Structure 1
């Protein structure tokens, strides 16, 4: 008998609704914040790279201890607090702009502060879903949440580009601040019971961090997934440092056109979320993990060829196809991670992986800013795309190459005895 739709599950629906609102606002802000720097404050390639680095530096600063705290505290409380903090920080940008006191250091501070809140939110979020739904429904739940991210990627940049063009970039950031407040109100209504470890069972911070590190490092599949994602994210940081400058100053697009281009590219995420379930069943969930970067990422080679006129479509095509692969990859590997990890280790497992794969983003952002100044923006885009091809190598060297499907929780209870 088929399970009832997750949309009939009250708590999942509240989480889904909070994600819808927050993700649309976030997509607007992801477009608006760099454009505030580029258009309102005339930031250089290096200064924009610093902004990208500030947005993700928090994963290096507090990524590992955040996992311990997430395992020690009610995760819903962390999610609500993180939303409120991000709303306040982002709300300060339009206020400072209206007062005529907005500066790049403030943008760096807002980016760093929202990044710190995002560290806790993301780790708690990925650790919270298994508390709301059964683990055999995690692929379905994650696919639905990826549809939210992808749909917001279609609607958000287009709306953001229009808002920026009509109302200026600082005002558009306000939309994201409001979205976080609404998200927090919905999350507060979730009434699922969480199991939080007793204080008597807690050990030192370093010992608990070490347990999470050992769990990931000793698992042959988790270890290689982490390595592959880290390579991909480093190159994404390189690309993100010069992306806006490439489109606005090199290609010569308006904010509205940039928003539409991002919306067209993000439609690939919707396609990926729609096909991940059937694709995983047809070719196997393990094969879907390593085939997705091999099949879809090479289309990114079209992106550096973007020029004014019809060749702007090359950017959309490359990003569209890459987004399909990214969503297929993320849904399958994140569901696998959530399914095999014991409840008391979920926060630290996610924190260890996030620390590694997001911690390289600021390094990529800094490197992209430097390369943009030394070699030029288009050359930096080429370097980032070509290096991204290496992300598939760890997956091809892992046990995934000899498997059709990822092992279930019952087959992979211990990282010391992984099923192959």
Structure 2
């Protein structure tokens, strides 16, 4: 109920935003949906910055909480770490407060360190957190899981604030919806694949070896950002792209 109310509050706040001097966009000529989808995909994957963001986010989602990690986390916590369901729930709840810390610090970090380095560092935090999780022992399971969840939530929040704002800044207004739909298709499409792979590997190899694989792939998700100079050297958000 609280989550639903937050969406209502978001809609009301968005309705209050006014851009002085903004003109209503000109109506587009009607085009087929398939054509619009193709335009969005071409725009994203021909744009070096958008392509690197989509690749990095898609890879991390493959092994993240919505993908492979989510498939093995509960079994690992309850069976290997001997946590009770209540302890697991408490650890995840407390750890997710890291998202609030990330939201509070993101703008300051970007101003101080630079947007590109912050994106790379924030993207690496999930892989580091899973390494911590893979080394956990039952005696210190609760604080380890709290720390793991906190680091991951903080990194994801900082990264998403930066990468979504960057995507919007470099995309012309008329292409915003198609860009966003195309990126989400690419980055969310890996979630079910990762969940299936995580469940299979956890059953065959065991949960702890699977966590080490997840951590390695999570760290490798930074590579598209590191190998793209337009992202790696970026200090501030670019000026809004022209129409």
User: Do Structure 1 and Structure 2 share a fold, with TM-score over 0.5?
Assistant: yes
In 2: Cα distance, 1:408 partner to 1:222 partner: 15
In 2: Cα distance, 1:372 partner to 1:278 partner: 39
Pair 1:313–1:322, CA change in 2 (3 A): same
In 2: Cα distance, 1:274 partner to 1:21 partner: 20
Greater relative contact order, per chain length (Cα 8 Å cut-off, separation 6+)? 2
1:193-239 CA deviation, whole Å, 9 max, x = no partner? xx6875x7121111111111111112111110111001100111111
State whether residues 272 and 328 of structure 1, in contact with CA within 8 Å, keep that contact through their aligned partners in structure 2. yes
Aligned length: 236
| Corresponding position: 1:218 with 2:218 | no
Higher helix share: 1
State whether residues 226 and 356 of structure 1, in contact with CA within 8 Å, keep that contact through their aligned partners in structure 2. yes
Any stretches of 5+ residues in structure 1 without a counterpart?
Answer: 1-17, 25-78, 81-124, 137-194, 415-420
Q: Cα offset for 1:281?
A: 1.2
1:367-391 CA deviation, whole Å, 9 max, x = no partner? 1111111111222222112211101
Q: Cα offset for 1:345?
A: 2.3
1:231-289 CA deviation, whole Å, 9 max, x = no partner? 10011111111111111222222221111110122111111011011111111223321
1:332 aligns with one of 159, 162, 168: 162
Pair 1:382–1:129, CA change in 2 (3 A): farther
| Corresponding position: 1:356 with 2:186 | yes
Q: TM-score, normalised by structure 1?
A: 0.51
State whether residues 130 and 211 of structure 2, in contact with CA within 8 Å, keep that contact through their aligned partners in structure 1. no
In 2: Cα distance, 1:368 partner to 1:344 partner: 38
Tell me how large the CA RMSD over aligned residues is: 2.9
Pair 1:251–1:196, CA change in 2 (3 A): farther
In 1: Cα distance, 2:220 partner to 2:184 partner: 19
Q: Which residue of 1 aligns with 2:242?
A: 413
Q: Which residue of 1 aligns with 2:200?
A: 370
Q: Which residue of 2 aligns with 1:64?
A: none
1:37-59 CA deviation, whole Å, 9 max, x = no partner? xxxxxxxxxxxxxxxxxxxxxxx
Moved over 3 A (4+): 128-132, 195-198, 294-297
| Corresponding position: 1:390 with 2:220 | yes
1:351-377 CA deviation, whole Å, 9 max, x = no partner? 111111110010001111111111112
Q: Which residue of 2 aligns with 1:21?
A: 3
Equivalence map 1:2-401=2 (5 Å): 21-22=3-4, 133=17, 198=27, 201-236=29-64, 237-294=67-124, 297-398=127-228, 399-401=230-232
Any stretches of 5+ residues in structure 2 without a counterpart?
Answer: none
State whether residues 303 and 319 of structure 1, in contact with CA within 8 Å, keep that contact through their aligned partners in structure 2. no
